[in-house]
Amino acid sequence: MSTADIYLSTTIPYINGRPHLGHALEFVQADVLARHYRQAGHPVRLQSGTDDNSLKNVLAAAAEGTSVADLVSRNSAAFEALSGPLQLSFDDFIRTSSDPRHRPGVERFWRACAASGDLYRKSYQGLYCTGCEQFYRIAELDGGRCPEHGTEPETVSEENWFFRLSRYAGQLTEEITSGRLRIEPAARRREVLAFIGGGLEDFSASRPASRAGGWGIPVPGDPDQAIYVWWDALGNYITSLGYGDGPEAPEYRRWWAGPGQRIHLAGKGVLRFHAVYWPAMLLSAGLPLPTAIYVHDYLTIGGAKISKSAAGPAARAAGPAALAAAYGPDAVRWWLLREVPRTGDADFTPERLVARANEDLANGLGNLVSRVTSMVHRYRDGVVPATGDLAAGGTPAAAAELAAACGRLPAETAAALARPDFRAATAALASVIGQANRCIEDTAPWRLARAETAGDPVAAGQLDAVLAALTGACRTLAAELAPFLPGLSAKVAAACDGSPGRLPAPEPVYPRLDAPPAS
C-alpha cells in the first residue's frame, strides 16, 4: 500500500458574508478525504482558510459602515469556527490578511512570474462585475448581465499588470491530457480542455491600489498597483507552506515539491481559475502543479440559489452552524455526502435532511445496532460469539453473504473516494446497512434461539454464526463510516466493543429526528 503524503485544500472563500451550506459541502468533502487517507496510513495535510484581501470584502465593509479589518476578522472567525459543528479536521487555516506567512509568499510568487517575463503593464478597458471581481467579454454575459449575479457590469478603464496566459496553452493541455493534472469529473476536464482549445487570452493581474482602498498586497516595485485575487488568493496553497521563505522551506518542499499528491477541491464557478490560471502561473514561476482538482457543483436551498448578497431567513436557517445545532453534525454531513450528486446541482430543504437521517441513520443503522447488541445480550449474555464458530452447524446463507459484503465494503468506499464520488461511497455504506437489517429478518435469530433452547445443536451453531456476522457488520460499518460521520461512527464502535468480554448495555446510538418546524 502506498502511503505517500497527501495535501488537500479547499478553496478559500471571500468573506463578505457568513458561511453558507455551499461552503459546508466543500469543507465536508475535503474532510472526508482527509480522514479516509489518514485512516489508510497516509500523512495528510488538510488546509482551508479565507480570502481576506478580496475587493468584495472592501465593498461589503463600505456597505456596512465598518472597517475592512473588522469585517474580515469577524467573518473569517465564523468560517474557521465551522470546524466545531461540522467536525472538520483542518490541519491549517490561513487568513490571508493577517497570516505572516502569506504576504512574503505572494511577493515571491509574483516576482518569480515577473522574472519569467510573463507580467507586463497594459491599459485596459472592459466590462467589470464587482460581485465577481472579474472582467467579462460581451459573449460571456447573459443578455448583457453577469451570468453569476444577474447585474449589469460596469465599464472600467484602467492600467493593470497583465499575465501572459496565452503562452501556456500547449503545456496546460499536455499536463491535463497526460493525466499528470487530473480534473474530475471528466465533464469538467473536457470543459477545461475546450476552454484552452478556444484560445487563451492574457488576463489582468493587478488593480489600481486606489480602487482597492489601500487593502491588499502592493505589487512588488509598483506600490500604485495592488496584486489582484489570483496571486493573492490562489497563492495561499503555497504561501501557507512557507514558500515565502523560499522553495527550500521544509513544509513547502514536503507538501508541494515532494512526490505526494496535491489535491484541490473547488466549486464549478472557480474551475477556470484553478484548472487554467493557477497551473499556468505555477508553470511561469517554475513550480510544480497540483496533481488533481476535484470539482463540485452547487447547492440550491428550497429551489433558490444560495447567494450571500440575498441571504433571506431561509438561507440563514440553512446556515451550516444553525443546521448542525438543530439536527446534529452527523445529519448535516450525511445529507451533503449522501444526497449531493457528483454532477448536477442539488436542492436542500430541512425536510430532506431529516428524512434522509431518519431513513439511513435512525431506522437503518441505529435500529441495526440496537437489535444486534440486544440479541447478543439476550442470547449470549453480551459476549459476541467468535467468528471461528461461523462454520459450526452451517452458516445461514444470509449471514455468509453479509460477511462477504462487509469484506468488499472497504474497497468499494475507497474506489468511490478515489474518483471521488461521495454519493456512491455513502450508497455503498447504506447498502450494507440495509443488507444487515434484512439478514436479521432472513435468519430470524429468535427462532434459532427457541430451537437451541429445545436442544437443537445445529441451531445453536447457526445462531452463533448469525450473531457473529451481524456484530462484524456493525463493526465494519463503524470503521468505514469514520471518515464520513466521525461522531456516529465512534458511538457505533463503542456499542459493539466487546474487548472487555461483554458488549456494553444496549443504548440507542441514533434517535429519530423530529420534523423541522413548519416555515
Specify which residues 52 forms β-bridges with. none
- Contacts of residue 317, defined as CB under 8 A and 6 or more positions apart, other chains included, come to 323, 350, 519
Answer whether 42's CB lies under 8 Å from 6's CB: yes
Around Cβ 382, how many Cβ atoms within 10 Å?
Answer: 16
| Separation CA 73–CA 70 (nearest Å) | 5
| Separation CA 212–CA 41 (nearest Å) | 45
Which has the closest alpha carbon to 252: 104, 119, 116? Answer: 104
Alpha carbons within 13 A on the beta-carbon side of 21: 34
Least gap, CB of 131 to Zn ion (angstroms): 4
| Separation CA 173–CA 175 (nearest Å) | 6
What's the CA angle centered on 76, arms 75 and 79, to 5 degrees?
90
Using the structure block, give the residue that is written with the C-alpha cell 489600481: 208
Q: Beta strand 182-184 with 292-296: parallel, antiparallel or unpaired?
A: parallel
End-to-end CA distance of the chain: 51
Cell of 118: 510573463
Longest CA–CA span in the chain (Å) reads: 94
Nearer to Zn ion, 132 or 169 (CB): 132
H or E, element range at 255: helix 250-255
Using the structure block, give the residue that is written with the C-alpha cell 511561469: 284
Residues that bind Zn ion (CB under 5 A): 129, 131-132, 146, 148-149
φ, ψ of residue 2 to 5 degrees: the values are -75, 135
| Separation CA 100–CA 111 (nearest Å) | 18
Using the structure block, give the residue that is written with the C-alpha cell 488537500: 8
Answer whether 217's CB lies under 8 Å from 103's CB: yes
Specify which residues 6 forms β-bridges with. 44, 261
Answer whether 202's CB lies under 8 Å from 163's CB: yes
| Ramachandran assignment for 302, one of left (phi > 0), alpha (psi -120 to 50 degrees), beta (any other) | left
Nearer to Zn ion, 149 or 254 (CB): 149
Nearer to Zn ion, 104 or 269 (CB): 269
Residue type, 51: D
- Contacts of residue 432, defined as CB under 8 A and 6 or more positions apart, other chains included, come to 402, 405, 406, 409, 473, 476, 477
Nearer to Zn ion, 146 or 336 (CB): 146
Cell of 51: 480570502
Catalytically active residues are 20, 23, 129, 132, 146, 149, 305, 308
**Burial classification of residue 38, based on how many CB atoms lie within 10 Å of its CB (0-12 exposed, 13-18 middle, 19 or more buried):** middle
Q: Beta strand 299-301 with 304-305: parallel, antiparallel or unpaired?
A: antiparallel
Nearer to Zn ion, 149 or 423 (CB): 149
